[in-house]
Structure 1
């Protein structure tokens, strides 16, 4: 019989707190660093991780204390050692969920290895970030890697170097800044400041959360007040369900002498955090939409980091102007004409389907992801136009969306303010065309 215990997991999007024995990662003797590529999807770093010989994909989260597995339905098998039952409470609107704790697992990221890693496994099939990211994602990994290595992240080249701390040559590149970190409860914090309404610059202590795709979360208090111009929005998922709050824009965020103007910010509903009894004096968190504007060196052992702004620094913060949330929801067949009787190719562009059937040399059937509307913000242009949750997206501005990745479709829907967007959807086996104009949110 499995032994049952109860553990409380405060969660912020993909960020978790755990306790447990120290487990170490290491490089082969004499090797200075290991370099690996990552996918940057919705501001999250997705990296390949091998667990007991099974190749999986994980979000690299600077705050997660123990790796977490979920969404294992697409795996034929995975070995997990020494399993016991646990119960998890987390952020969101739902109840506690059942999970497993597994010990003494072999985890490998290229040359980076850990021969005795604890892993938590969430059994709830509803805890699955893959549909909203558009690729299979099986888990979250983080703190132990940041603890054992100097982690050098290049957001432009989409590469990470895990350095042996004893072999790392500490340099301060030109136009970079060294920032002090505090490490509390397996999480990293930095001191920054925010100006909300062009009045007073407010010092803030912020959680470093690479497992959040958002930009800035702020907790309202006597000094930090929600701006008058804001709207209700879905902010993300916790273990216990969805997280909601207010979306807005602040005058700027300042880290050292780096100033990010007109920064996107969110004020989460504090009821979501009722499982957290002590915030440790923090005022909010910084996520991937801030971090991707820098190339970053994390040095947890020495309580410091290096920030160097990159070519993303001055890019505008991205808002969901249309009000449409999308996700993958299974697959569908699409039919395309590829040649006429004279052999002239009409359309031979690559699709994202893994299965293609050619009929009589002229028609191609491709099995492609089905993209559905997973949510509509009340009062948004898409909502006012009549789009509904569950609509299957077929085309945006005449472009068949099966040729695009999920985040590219979101870009098509939100790219140009004051521009008209036409969306073709399927609803109850009928094709419907909707049209709306993107309007600035805070002007």
Structure 2
């Protein structure tokens, strides 16, 4: 990406060029396009080119139109045919001002759309990069699922965009094809939920690849969807309109088709987080990445079908925030590393630094510019909170390992490894280094 100041090239084309393709297409005889993706915190990150700019987007089946955000003063992204609009997403905040843009060129490998609409959100507070640990510039969903048969292989971390005209559906004994309803550019699947001491409750769930969580349910007592007694208040994530909070819990089971997951992680978001949805209809919640990653999934929007096949993640335990800490990137900081041994000899082959910008001092000490990781949130009553950690603390090391050598999700894994593990966290607070120790505990006691 060019390192110029942020600008928008407003190409005042009133109509698309005659003969230009509408929607994504592949070259005439190409059966499919394979795209490698990164899976970070159960979210799919794909490479996407917009008007020649190389970006990274979340593949989000829960979004009805592409949204571009997180633009910095170093991004150069031309967009076309701009007008002002207001957009609203999940979260308790107010609607946001945005730009609506038409006639943009999107490229995913050989899959191209020469006339794609998108929204551009200029609010700098909308930035998922800090919590994912890599630059992410937007979200894309419906158009990809509409124009292709989309096969997501969570095991191999790749997506195949199949040309619907050349696609031959394969049947596998261990897979199951279910009805998929498409309503207002979003996909829904039927399932059942078992809440303790209740009968199986039929639910209609939004299929949301853009959610890192497992299962969200709306609190609907009239339908049997009561919040289980064992729960705690938690930060559930961030939507386009602000932070989302709710009750974290687990249900006795969730079933999609013949596939059943017992003691499934679940959450009941507070009503204000989705209050802008005037009519929920018969929707009861959503199923997100922590459940979806347990399958390899083929979406066929055109025929209203979705195929689930269990993969190696199926029996993976659900992940809870045992420590009670949320982390995020907070810019950059310098760290000093000695590149000389105890004998004073410089290790010429030393390449252990994580930072890209380096300064050598007297050829023995190296200053490296590395990401700063801070505590962005902390759950009341959690082991970390009881130990004395605070929001804003800068994380330096976990169990003796300097965090600048690890990705954000790897650090979170260190902090939540297993019940009963003793965690030592070295932090910086007001220019002082402090060491805190706590033991990871179950968030729910066994029944």
Show the counterpart of 1:72.
71
Q: 1:359 to 1:61 in 2, by over 3 A?
A: same
Show the counterpart of 2:100.
101
Q: Does 1:55 align with 2:57?
A: no
Deviation (angstroms), 1:224: 1.0
CA offsets, 1:356-399, max 9 Å, x none? 23344432222110000001111111111110010000001111
Quote the Cα distance in structure 2 between the aligned partners of 1:362 and 1:327: 31
Show the counterpart of 1:424.
426
Deviation (angstroms), 1:338: 2.5
Show the counterpart of 2:217.
218
Show the counterpart of 1:142.
141
**CA contact under 8 A between 2:228 and 2:249: conserved in structure 1?**
yes
**CA contact under 8 A between 2:92 and 2:274: conserved in structure 1?**
no
**CA contact under 8 A between 2:217 and 2:284: conserved in structure 1?**
yes
Show the counterpart of 1:311.
312
Show the counterpart of 1:197.
196
Aligned length in residues = 422
CA offsets, 1:146-204, max 9 Å, x none? 00000011111100010000111101123111111111110111111111115421111
Q: Does 1:254 align with 2:255?
A: yes
Show the counterpart of 1:410.
412
Quote the Cα distance in structure 1 between the aligned partners of 2:372 and 2:320: 23
Show the counterpart of 1:283.
284
Q: What is the SS of the residue equivalent to 2:355? A: coil
Show the counterpart of 1:391.
393
Q: What is the SS of the residue equivalent to 1:436? A: strand
Q: 1:284 to 1:346 in 2, by over 3 A?
A: farther
CA offsets, 1:78-116, max 9 Å, x none? 111111111223332322221100100011111010000
**CA contact under 8 A between 2:346 and 2:364: conserved in structure 1?**
no
Deviation (angstroms), 1:274: 1.8
Quote the Cα distance in structure 1 between the aligned partners of 2:361 and 2:152: 47
Show the counterpart of 2:242.
241
Q: Does 1:378 align with 2:377?
A: no
**CA contact under 8 A between 2:92 and 2:272: conserved in structure 1?**
no
Quote the Cα distance in structure 1 between the aligned partners of 2:327 and 2:349: 26
Show the counterpart of 1:178.
177
Q: 1:75 to 1:118 in 2, by over 3 A?
A: farther
Q: Which moved more, 1:361-370 or 1:133-142?
A: 361-370
- The CA RMSD over aligned residues, in Å, is 1.6
Quote the Cα distance in structure 2 between the aligned partners of 1:177 and 1:76: 44
Q: What is the SS of the residue equivalent to 1:409? A: helix
Q: 1:123 to 1:210 in 2, by over 3 A?
A: same
Quote the Cα distance in structure 1 between the aligned partners of 2:318 and 2:442: 13
Show the counterpart of 2:368.
366
Quote the Cα distance in structure 2 between the aligned partners of 1:157 and 1:364: 38
**CA contact under 8 A between 1:23 and 1:144: conserved in structure 2?**
no
Q: Which moved more, 1:104-113 or 1:342-351?
A: 342-351
Q: What is the SS of the residue equivalent to 1:188? A: strand
Q: 1:74 to 1:196 in 2, by over 3 A?
A: farther
Q: Does 1:435 align with 2:416?
A: no
CA offsets, 1:304-325, max 9 Å, x none? 1111111111010001111100
Quote the Cα distance in structure 2 between the aligned partners of 1:347 and 1:386: 40
Deviation (angstroms), 1:252: 1.1
Q: What is the SS of the residue equivalent to 1:91? A: coil
TM-score, L = length of structure 1: 0.92
Question: 5+ residue gaps in structure 2?
Answer: 1-20
Deviation (angstroms), 1:51: 0.6
Deviation (angstroms), 1:400: 0.6
Quote the Cα distance in structure 1 between the aligned partners of 2:327 and 2:80: 36
Deviation (angstroms), 1:278: 1.2
Q: Does 1:25 align with 2:24?
A: yes
Quote the Cα distance in structure 1 between the aligned partners of 2:437 and 2:188: 44
Show the counterpart of 1:158.
157
**CA contact under 8 A between 2:395 and 2:403: conserved in structure 1?**
yes
